[in-house]
Amino acid sequence: ADYNELGFNLRSNIFQGGPLESRSLMKDSYTPDVIQKAIRDPKNWHGRRTDELGKWHQKNALNLNLQKALEEKYG
């Protein structure tokens, strides 16, 4: 009985799913001029600055990519 009722509800489109338009708490809380004036600085992300270990990992990843590209080109 439950299976038949569930099938009927699915065929009747009672379960229509979530909203088609999503809302943002930031957009609802602030006026558009505040959002446009917001400056996103990648070095100061949410008050956290990139430390020396993060810089080292970034340089290491670039170095590994360079080594891989050189090996592919020159063997």
14-18, 40-44, 53-57: range with highest mean pLDDT:
53-57
Q: What pLDDT does residue 7 have? A: 78
What pLDDT shows up at residue 22? 75
Q: Strands of 3-74 (E only): list them.
A: 44-45, 48-49
Contacts of 15 (CB under 8 A, 6+ apart): 9
Q: What is the pLDDT of residue 41?
A: 72
Residues 4-25 have pLDDT tens digits of 777 777 777 666 666 677 777 7
Contacts for 26 with CB less than 8 Å, ≥ 6 apart: 35
